[in-house]
Structure 1
Amino acid sequence: MDLARLKEIEKKLLWLACWTIHNANHLREKTDGLKVGGHQASSASMVSIMTALYFHSLRPQDRVAVKPHASPVFHAIQYLMGNQTRERLENFRGYGGAQSYPSRTKDVDDVDFSTGSVGLGVAITAFTSMVQDYIAAKPWAKTRAEGRMIALVGDAELDEGNVYEALQEGWKHGLRNTWWIIDYNRQSLDGVVREGLARRIESIFGAFGWDVVRLKYGALQRAAFDEPGGEALKRWIDDCPNALYSALTFQGGAAWRKRLQDDIGDQGKVSALIGRRSDAELQELMTNLGGHCLETLTDAFARIDHDRPVAFVAYTIKGWNTPLAGHKDNHSGLMTPAQMDAFKQQMGVRDGREWDLDHGLDAFLKEVPFFREGRRRHSAGRLATPGPVFLDDRELSTQAGFGKILDALAKSGSSLADRIVTTSPDVTVSTNLGPWVNRRGLFAREEIADTFRDERVPSAQKWRFDRQGQHIELGIAEMNLFLLLGAAGLSHSLFGERLLPVGTLYDPFIARGLDALNYACYQDARFLLAATPSGVTLAPEGGAHQSVGTPLIGMAQDGLASFEPAYLDELSIVMDWAFDYMQRDGKADRDENTWLRDETGGSVYLRLSTRALEQPASRDTAEFRQGVIDGAYWLRKPGPNAEVVIAYQGVVAPEAIEAAGRIGDDRRDIGVLAVTSADRLNAGWHAAMRMRKRGQKGATSHIERLLADVPRHCTLISVTDGHPATLAWLGGVIGHRTVALGVEHFGQTGTIADLYRHFGIDADAIVAAASEIAPGRPIRLAGQVA
């Protein structure tokens, strides 16, 4: 190990990180007067750890999630290695500049995992390690060296509950090759952490089978402990409250001297130990914690010669080696221009050379193992989809249909089926994944026998676990589901192997894992999410298990195409399209049919139901298939004199069709619009409007074409088992009056008929809405006097 070179790099990174933030806040022109921010102190506490890792201990196959507030250090590392530009650093936290927090999709440098929502970047490393094990067990996988999945963790991130959910799940699955390096600087946004937290952290990790490595003392401190009086100094350090240690660090060497002399000075050995050091040397000694000692860090990392998960508790100083070190308010604090001038002198940087890379380290940097092979993002080829798997059931729910389609794929033996990996948070059977699991098995690195089967206990489920299994069973934690989907959905980029992850959960509990869902989409992970049962249609369960707002989540979530098919043929078409869509990685050119950027691909969300519907006769035409994917088709096209069009989404289809038949006796040319994706219709409409503003006058979306010939005096009645806003916007497309029916309140228990009537989404409610409409006159709502 070239310790001298590492110390040069450490100093350079500390300077670049602090200067990047200073430039953004004090030197770059600001038009809005707002503080830019950037966390100089949180960056400083990580500099030594990241130097030791990136320039000594990491290998190209290792993957790292950098704590959000250390992003300036990460960008400085990449700048040093030629993977980041000065222009982007100068525009840090600006439009088009280096991102506030490391981002796979928005940064140009080599980001392994996006971070930002604290705790999630930590936990995804555990699930990525599980995905690595899954891939390595498969006969189709190329042989690759196993990488370590490493999280650089702020100690305050350990307040996040999802971290502990991940710990338990990792224990269940025999987690390997995972390092969490905890930046134990003992300061959070608003204060100093509670005393004794380190011991609690260590005991928790130990309970889940992790090795725990405490990096508390640096080499200088350990050497001082060996001097006469050193044992007393060590005891004082161990007993010193966190807040006092931070305060003395900020005050400096003279304050340390006075406090130590007052507390343990005896005019003998201890006094001599203290007296042999100048104030500057005493400050260096007392801040030489394990997390700031390159020798200690590199030795600790090198000693790990096994694949068990490891938690390194690295004691650090927040704001280390800067004027902010130790101050209570340093989390979002910034060095003043005067402090920066002094810091610049301390770092030996000349005016006008602040971004300089003339450091004499080129030969050393070329040989750094982690960077030697260049960028570490892989790719994987696309797998052909077999075409829609059409079912011949005359009456079935979309939830059951989903299970049968997957079962048919399992039987097919296709390459695509071999790359599907399913997962569910303890609702495998109740979301109809049972048939798939029976055929393809559950995954475990070590075989687990099906004891019930061996003991001849009758069961519909074949719960065998082995390396060839294609279902990963999770406990009841939706955050873990989305983190696993996110990790598996990046397998093509992280490991060069294509996986097609499919996750199922109860639709209302999307909200419990929404942060992790958003996180997975932000990273551009690719997966298929089947959420079922949905809406108040799950009648007897009551409000806690009935989802109202999830259609709006599907519409609002970037990177996620949301569908709510009513019928099996629609579901079959969407699933086949989804498996292809998940693999796309094309340019951002828009499809002029919808004005959506479908070639870029993404993830897919299916909102399914337990309500069995009578299925329509065969209607497999190219036009029908395209309409299903684009988001809507005419189930009954309106005539030229139409007064009412009923637009429905999902399992309220029978109510819409019944109402149309009843209304048809009194209203002319009634139309019925089957909406399969309010999300894609709405997104295409907005995209087309943007393109017209940019000069493409002929840009017309799918929903605009569908409604173009509907007379202006016609009223749209929209209905869905979800929030009415899901379809209420349809009236704004051309300018039709709209009555939006849906569910706005927590559900009730009862039958489907009871609840549809209660919430006004049954056929009677649709008919009543139509009966109050007269062409050319305002809609008269219930209770109004004519």
Structure 2
Amino acid sequence: MTRIAARMAGETRDDTHLAMLDALSRKALWLSNWMIHHANHIRPNASGVKVGGHQSSSASMTAIMAALYFDVLRPEDRVAVKPHAAPVFHAIQYLFGRQTLDKLKAFRGLGGAQSYPSRTKDTDDVDISTGSVGLGVAFTAFASIVQDYIRAKSWARPDMPEGRMIALVGDAELDEGNVYECLLEGWKQGLRNTWGVIDYNRQSLDGVVREGLYDRIAAIFKAFDWRVVTIKYGARQRAAFAEPGGERLRAWIDACPNGLYSALMYQGGAAWRARLQDDLGDQGDVSALIARRDDAELADLMANLGGHCLDSLLDAFHGIDDDRPTVFIAYTVKGWGTPLAGHKDNHSGQMTEAQIHALRDAMGVRPGHEWAPFEGLGIDEAALRDFLDRVPFNTGASRRLTAAPVPAIGPRASGGAATQATTSTQTAFGRIMDTIARTDTDLARRIVTTSPDVTVSTNLGGWVNRRALFAADEIADIFQRQRIPSAQKWHFSPQGQHIELGIAEMNLFLLLGAAGLAHELFGERLLPVGTLYDPFISRGLDALNYACYQDARFMVVATPSGVSLAGEGGAHQSIAQPLIGMSQDGLASFEPAFADELAVIIDWGFNHMQRSGPKTPDPVSFLADAAGGAVYLRLSTRPVDQPRREMTSELAEAIITGGYWLKAPEPGCEVVIACQGVAITEAVAAAGLIGGARRNVAVLAVTSADRLHAGWHAAEKARAEGAMDAVSPVERLLDQVPDHAGIVTVIDGHPATLAWLGGVNGHRVAALGVDHFGQTGTVEDLYAHYGIDAQGIAAAARRFTRGRRRRG
């Protein structure tokens, strides 16, 4: 029997239980408001700049979060908290004993509780980081898909309970387009065990939402097979509706415009009475219903919406006993329980000293006892502590799980099939993945690949043919069944290891983020690999940043890159992406030129994705690799002649560090050509054009400007702190170059990627690359157009050699 059915049958909820929940909800409301007030008006603030904190947006979520955290949730459930409700979350964690008083006092300060819940910055029990509005909503859906993926596998832990993925979301967050991309993808993937709880306070940052929004929200979720549960009326309102005249009051509430309801909430009981008497007076029963309540009681009745009524919330939440995705639309008042309730400007508004003191008095909190967890609740402290100890969600064990690392199989094993006389890095990637797919290893079993409808064109076809696509139910390849020739075997099964997505890069990075946290969310190690076209990283950049902020572990393979995708024109050519790779925290960016480099990087990448050590820089590379992170590979479709060489440990280490000498400088060196990626062909040709027998041109193969730059920056910081012997890899490389030499940097991408090399030792630099939108043409035409062909590189280099001769 569901909770709702039981209530209809006459069962009553324990009054003591409700009293405990109500007391803790009020305490969370007080603590969250005081936390924000303290940060803005009590804590020293030398700059005088507002700290902020969203008192009103927190208040509207208080009862919802109290019902969930103190009653409904189980340890296996995972929650993405509405960003602006972070103070309520921290207050609840404080009551659980998972957050410290010092961090509450330092809210929004250095080392304090974070402005928005953060897995990496907060020390309390954050499941999913939020902050970029809308992304938390979608992240829970993909986390549920990942949970289903894991549970379908033969290697999954049988003792791991199945949790619900829950998003707490403000109604204005639903303006974000990624929410609807996620709903469509969830429908395709058979989404289950996912809840959305919408704080329907009918206000956004700048004002009141449009009329009819509820109907649109409900219709959209229903269109994608979500159950819609509306929590509109509180218990006191429902009791009033049962009185004579109550149905007319209900009709008035239902017809009241959002802006008017908010304004009356702010004005209070007298305003409610005047308006209701104007609209409903002289109607006998309904007039008497209004008259039976004084102004305070009337205001309390009209504020008793479902999202603030614990009894209504618990009925709704406990009324769900299946795994169908469900959205709860909970009517609330922004600023509920505070003097700011309902005002259209209250999003960033804060209570005055007089208002916060009035709220403190109403809460029964004595001056000087504002932080006391159980002050003013009127319930025995021991009873409250015992209640909190028995809350199912408040488990003593850590809810952040662990999983053992999976050993990689080594660059020779993964790259043996990749080395041909001439090949592209994209082709080599496909061969490496196909080689791994052939193995019966834990690594092969734990890889999960995904792509936004470009699986074949990013060379994942071989992997998918061997490892199949994932779906909860078996789906045969109709073309194969009909014996129609096709290179691709599009077979779906629960054991499949590729999750095919629609064309939405935001969804790709959200899925990679969720899969990249599987070891901590679900206790199972996944090695997610996502492929997409390099120019379209920008379309999913917010979600990529969000995934890295969560410290998710994944490998994103972006191909083809640069203007080498010549025939597609500027819309499909990438320019700024190398700079994204350099600037994105938590992401190690590589752009190899050769297949053997790629094999080394992929092997290293699978290990890097699983590391969890300290963030202390290595004394040789000055990179914090022990901490691990995500990996970005920028690949190309352009074939390049492959070097015949032995992959020594020294060369492999240099590739991972970020660069090595393809042609080392000699004492008379006048020019260094530093190249990242497939423009290496032009770099080598240019060296031949200008070097001749004098051998005065060196070639530096840069595999990762990101890592060379990071090491240099870290070494400079170390020297500033007194470690004068600190030397980074790029400094060791360029120390071999004479002071008089110049450096020509070349990349099929933005020239700023490598231009900084001149700052390492003060060498002159000519930075070549692409800094304007591309256009259609052949690779040869475009490289010549942008001056990154052999002749363009040679011309830039000759400026340095001519200058050297003049000075001689």
TM-score of the superposed pair, with normalisation by structure 1? 0.98
Q: Secondary structure at the match of 2:265?
A: helix
Q: Secondary structure at the match of 1:236?
A: helix
Candidates 114, 120, 123, aligned match of 1:105: 120
- CA offsets, 1:544-578, max 9 Å, x none? 00000000000000000000000000000000000
Candidates 107, 110, 119, aligned match of 2:134: 119
Looking at structure 2, the residues matched to 619 and 586 of structure 1 have their Cα atoms a distance apart, in angstroms, of 31
* Structure 1 counterpart of 2:588: 561
Looking at structure 2, the residues matched to 358 and 523 of structure 1 have their Cα atoms a distance apart, in angstroms, of 33
Looking at structure 1, the residues matched to 447 and 264 of structure 2 have their Cα atoms a distance apart, in angstroms, of 56
- What letter corresponds to residue 200 of structure 1 in structure 2? R
* Structure 1 counterpart of 2:7: none
Give the drift of 1:593: 1.4
Looking at structure 1, the residues matched to 466 and 188 of structure 2 have their Cα atoms a distance apart, in angstroms, of 23
Looking at structure 2, the residues matched to 588 and 321 of structure 1 have their Cα atoms a distance apart, in angstroms, of 44
Candidates 759, 765, 774, aligned match of 2:786: 759
Candidates 397, 400, 405, aligned match of 1:374: 397
Is 1:317 the counterpart of 2:333 in the alignment? yes
Give the drift of 1:590: 1.6
Looking at structure 1, the residues matched to 561 and 575 of structure 2 have their Cα atoms a distance apart, in angstroms, of 8
Q: Secondary structure at the match of 1:162?
A: helix
Is 1:95 the counterpart of 2:95 in the alignment? no
Q: Contact 2:27 / 2:373 at 8 angstroms: preserved in 1? A: no
Give the drift of 1:395: 1.2
Looking at structure 2, the residues matched to 667 and 164 of structure 1 have their Cα atoms a distance apart, in angstroms, of 63
Q: Contact 1:642 / 1:667 at 8 angstroms: preserved in 2? A: no
After TM superposition, list the pairs within 5 Å mapping 1:610-649 onto structure 2: 610-649=637-676
Is 1:385 the counterpart of 2:408 in the alignment? yes
Candidates 510, 514, 532, aligned match of 1:487: 514
Q: Contact 1:60 / 1:373 at 8 angstroms: preserved in 2? A: no
Is 1:174 the counterpart of 2:197 in the alignment? no
Looking at structure 1, the residues matched to 149 and 475 of structure 2 have their Cα atoms a distance apart, in angstroms, of 15
* Structure 1 counterpart of 2:369: 353
* Structure 2 counterpart of 1:77: 92
Is 1:731 the counterpart of 2:758 in the alignment? yes
After TM superposition, list the pairs within 5 Å mapping 1:327-726 onto structure 2: 327-358=343-374, 360=381, 361-388=384-411, 389-390=414-415, 391-665=418-692, 668-726=695-753
Looking at structure 2, the residues matched to 233 and 22 of structure 1 have their Cα atoms a distance apart, in angstroms, of 37
Q: Contact 1:644 / 1:667 at 8 angstroms: preserved in 2? A: no
- What letter corresponds to residue 466 of structure 1 in structure 2? S
- What letter corresponds to residue 101 of structure 2 in structure 1? R
Q: Contact 1:64 / 1:151 at 8 angstroms: preserved in 2? A: yes
Give the drift of 1:778: 11
Q: Secondary structure at the match of 1:536?
A: helix
Give the drift of 1:773: 2.0
Looking at structure 2, the residues matched to 665 and 56 of structure 1 have their Cα atoms a distance apart, in angstroms, of 78
Percent of aligned pairs sharing the same letter: 67
Give the drift of 1:313: 0.4
- What letter corresponds to residue 788 of structure 2 in structure 1? I
CA RMSD across the alignment: 1.2
Give the drift of 1:393: 1.4
Looking at structure 1, the residues matched to 347 and 597 of structure 2 have their Cα atoms a distance apart, in angstroms, of 52
* Structure 2 counterpart of 1:199: 215
Give the drift of 1:374: 3.2
Q: Contact 1:505 / 1:531 at 8 angstroms: preserved in 2? A: yes
- CA offsets, 1:730-772, max 9 Å, x none? 0000010000000010111111110000000000001111222
- CA offsets, 1:250-286, max 9 Å, x none? 0001110110010011251011100111111101100
- What letter corresponds to residue 265 of structure 2 in structure 1? T
Looking at structure 1, the residues matched to 260 and 617 of structure 2 have their Cα atoms a distance apart, in angstroms, of 59
Q: Secondary structure at the match of 2:508?
A: helix
Looking at structure 2, the residues matched to 256 and 358 of structure 1 have their Cα atoms a distance apart, in angstroms, of 34
Looking at structure 1, the residues matched to 321 and 26 of structure 2 have their Cα atoms a distance apart, in angstroms, of 29
Q: Contact 2:419 / 2:428 at 8 angstroms: preserved in 1? A: no
**4+ residue runs over 3 A deviation:** 774-780
Q: Secondary structure at the match of 1:266?
A: coil
Candidates 282, 303, 306, aligned match of 2:298: 282
Looking at structure 2, the residues matched to 242 and 348 of structure 1 have their Cα atoms a distance apart, in angstroms, of 32
- What letter corresponds to residue 538 of structure 1 in structure 2? L
- CA offsets, 1:276-312, max 9 Å, x none? 1111110110000010000000011001011000010
Count of residue pairs brought into register by the alignment: 780
Give the drift of 1:774: 4.0
TM-score of the superposed pair, with normalisation by structure 2? 0.96
- What letter corresponds to residue 47 of structure 2 in structure 1? D
* Structure 2 counterpart of 1:784: none
Q: Contact 1:482 / 1:516 at 8 angstroms: preserved in 2? A: yes
Looking at structure 2, the residues matched to 12 and 27 of structure 1 have their Cα atoms a distance apart, in angstroms, of 20
Q: Contact 2:741 / 2:800 at 8 angstroms: preserved in 1? A: no
Give the drift of 1:512: 0.2
* Structure 2 counterpart of 1:63: 78
Give the drift of 1:589: 2.2
* Structure 2 counterpart of 1:134: 149
- What letter corresponds to residue 66 of structure 2 in structure 1? T
Q: Contact 1:567 / 1:615 at 8 angstroms: preserved in 2? A: yes
Q: Contact 1:189 / 1:331 at 8 angstroms: preserved in 2? A: yes
Uncovered stretches (5+) of structure 1, i.e. residues with no partner: 781-786
Q: Secondary structure at the match of 1:163?
A: helix
Moved more, 374-383 or 766-775: 766-775
Moved more, 659-668 or 188-197: 659-668
Give the drift of 1:623: 1.1
Uncovered stretches (5+) of structure 2, i.e. residues with no partner: 1-13, 376-380
Q: Secondary structure at the match of 2:79?
A: strand
Is 1:183 the counterpart of 2:206 in the alignment? no
Q: Secondary structure at the match of 1:370?
A: coil
- CA offsets, 1:324-355, max 9 Å, x none? 00011100000000111111111111000000
Looking at structure 2, the residues matched to 363 and 485 of structure 1 have their Cα atoms a distance apart, in angstroms, of 40
Give the drift of 1:204: 0.4
